[in-house]
Amino acid sequence: MSPNAPESYIDVLIIGAGPAGLTSATAFAAAGGINVRIIDQRASKISVGHADGVHARTVEVLQSYGLAERMLREGNQLYMYAFYNPNDAGEIELTGRAPGVIAPTARFPFVVGLHQGAIEAIFLDFMSQNNLIVDRPTRPYAMEISQGQPHSPSSYPVKVTLEHLNAPTDGGKTEVVHAKYVIGADGAHSWVRQTLGIDMVGEQTDYTWGVVDIVPDTNFPDIRNKAAIHSENGACLIIPREDDKVRLYVQLSEDVVDPSTRRVDKSQMSPEKLIEVARKSLHPYYLSLSSEIEWWSIYIIGQRVASKYSDKDRVFIVGDACHTHSPKAGQGMNASISDAHNLAWKIVHVLRGWAHPSILKTYETERRNYAQDLIDFDKRYAALFSGKPRTLENQEGITHEEFSRALQIHGGFISGIGVHYYLSAIVNTKHQTSAKNLVIGERMPPQIFIQGADARPVEVHDLLPADTRFKILVFLGPLDGSRLVKVNGLANDLDAPTSFLRKYSIDGQFSHIFDIISIAQGDKFVFNYLHVPQIFRPHWSKVLLDDIDVARTQGGDAYERFSINPQEVTFVIVRPDGFVGMIAPSTALEDVDEYFASFLIPRTC
């Protein structure tokens, strides 16, 4: 390292600009006021191939940053899943079709097919609008976390030496960055993870797969649906993509693993060979190419999860750096985006002095549990996918029913909608019975309400942006007569200096950290939104009605759907990442106080 290497002090250094790193950077940019840098060793962003399936929950996450619209415009929307199995003559035939997403509460009930580079471009453009660009080609070559006393939240305990790969050797080659937090988003072979000495626990499977992106010419009738083909010549998965492109995943029987490294040896395969394998699986349908092969790869499935996700809650790993699994259930990029979405708001809260650093521990408990579930699921799914189909000769093989049952059972998990976080400081289930169909620890389901002030229908998700604030949904019930007296009394209680709203206020304002959305029951033709006490209507657009819209096509029945008693006032606390953290009746406000006291820092401290 040059003795004159420049030194700087920053809040967060992100190492790696794949989906996990870019989501982290986007979340910090959206939060605002965080001094963040992101580096990548690649000279430019990827432009083809890699991940290409964005699941229903990930679309919701992108929507919460205001980024879903472009992805929906550019990507292919995949609604149907088709299944092909061998008939008695040994040729594949259509066994059945099913919805591509089995998650009844999905706001976006489809998978978006768009290549990883295009998805990354959406993040990169948002970041550049917020003056954040990836510093590349740059990589770290040394990292230390200072030892000794527990670090104060304002200290810079992580020292990282960076190497700028394109800089001339006589100057600007190295740089020292002192960071409060470091996020290792540097992929499956993570340098950060290895530097921290964190192991990957799990195993490598014997399944080897090839993947190739083409524009096909074929008479296969389900080429524009997701199609799982179990043929006597091996399995094949078809994923239709943006424009006329299609991705083919084919199972390889040839041994393409280099015995010395245990990694696949790409030189033993070619895209033409992959197409030939696909042709055999698709027989009797024909398959030829309408244009050049865009991208191809081969891989062997490893199912592993990191033994821990952080060192001293100052350096974290996210994405493929902490979990690897087969790409066929299309989870890697989705899981990586959700890891970053889960972690970033917690770091922001700690950096701003709003939350105790202990909140950071929930990143590992929530996301490592999820990754473990993902590996368990992947083991079952990969075995079902890669196994031989049942035929007259092979009665031990996998039946269509077994495969489609697995999809039914795990549909919520695959789509990301069913991801569940367990009890912790930020997940409190004490009053689950107050809204038993709103599952605490799962993401807030979508619901159309009507704005009380102007009768416009709104999707509640659009009132839950990833802006680092807790959203307090107050289900007020009907606002007539004696109820209004009760609701006014509650408003006074919440305005008291001891209430959670006031305890964490900044400069007398709670709107920095909380957003209140009130939901009354009533008829839009007679409702007066000004009857809602001021504290429950920070803005006219935040008073909603559980009613059907004027066109009578959407909205209504939310109290019944969520199983909320309209005779009570019920608080639903939605975390900044869109997950329900707590529910409580207004008679248990002290429990809400306790919930926030377990991780927020009162402003008087």
Ligand X SMILES: Cc1cc2nc3c(=O)[nH]c(=O)nc-3n(C[C@H](O)[C@H](O)[C@H](O)COP(=O)(O)OP(=O)(O)OC[C@H]3O[C@@H](n4cnc5c(N)ncnc54)[C@H](O)[C@@H]3O)c2cc1C
Instruction: Give residues in contact with ligand X (CB under 6 A).
Output: 15-21, 39-42, 50-53, 116, 139-140, 185-187, 191, 211, 297, 299, 319-321, 327, 330-334, 336
- Cβ atoms of residues 225 and 83 within 8 Å: no
Q: What's the 3-state SS for 378-391? A: HHHHHHHHHCCECC
Structure tokens at 448: 């159309």
Structure tokens at 490: 């509650």
- Pick the catalytic residue from 81, 84, 207, 249: 249
- Shortest reach from residue 42's CB to ligand X, in Å: 4
174-184 and 7-15 strand pairing: parallel
E strand intervals along 522-604: 543-545, 570-574, 580-585
- Shortest reach from residue 513's CB to ligand X, in Å: 29
Q: Any catalytic annotation for residue 547?
A: no
- Shortest reach from residue 422's CB to ligand X, in Å: 23
Residue 81 or 504 with smaller CB distance to ligand X: 81
- Shortest reach from residue 19's CB to ligand X, in Å: 4
Residue 39 or 501 with smaller CB distance to ligand X: 39
d(CA 198, CA 228): 36
- Shortest reach from residue 39's CB to ligand X, in Å: 6
| 393: exposed, middle or buried (Cβ count in 10 Å: 0-12, 13-18, 19+) | exposed
CA distances from 86 to 239, 338, 389, 396 (A): 20, 38, 8, 14
d(CA 340, CA 312): 18
Q: Any catalytic annotation for residue 79?
A: no
470-478 and 514-521 strand pairing: parallel
- Cβ atoms of residues 9 and 156 within 8 Å: yes
Residues 25, 31, 36: CA angle, nearest 5 degrees: 40
Residue 15 or 440 with smaller CB distance to ligand X: 15
Residue 43 or 551 with smaller CB distance to ligand X: 43
Residue 50 or 180 with smaller CB distance to ligand X: 50
Residue 53 or 445 with smaller CB distance to ligand X: 53
Residue 19 or 86 with smaller CB distance to ligand X: 19
- Shortest reach from residue 128's CB to ligand X, in Å: 17
From the list 532, 495, 505, 499, the residue with the least C-alpha distance to 517 is 532
Q: How many CB atoms lie within 10 A of CB 288?
A: 10
CA distances from 352 to 34, 56, 153, 316, 603 (A): 9, 31, 9, 18, 12
- Shortest reach from residue 272's CB to ligand X, in Å: 18
- Cβ atoms of residues 583 and 438 within 8 Å: yes
Residue 49 or 538 with smaller CB distance to ligand X: 49
Q: Any catalytic annotation for residue 125?
A: no
Map tokens 């207004």 to a residue. Answer: 586
- Pick the catalytic residue from 19, 37, 40, 52: 52
- What residues pair up with 570 in beta bridges, in sequence order? 475, 585
- Pick the catalytic residue from 157, 327, 576, 585: 327
Q: Any catalytic annotation for residue 249?
A: yes
| 284: exposed, middle or buried (Cβ count in 10 Å: 0-12, 13-18, 19+) | exposed
d(CA 527, CA 525): 6
- Pick the catalytic residue from 37, 107, 241, 279: 241
E strand intervals along 436-586: 448-451, 457-459, 470-478, 514-521, 543-545, 570-574, 580-585
d(CA 583, CA 419): 18
- Shortest reach from residue 171's CB to ligand X, in Å: 21
Residue 163 or 232 with smaller CB distance to ligand X: 163
Question: Which amino acid is present at 570?
Answer: T
* Helical ranges in 496-574 per DSSP H: 500-503, 558-562
- Shortest reach from residue 237's CB to ligand X, in Å: 10
Q: What are the catalytic residues?
A: 52, 241, 249, 327
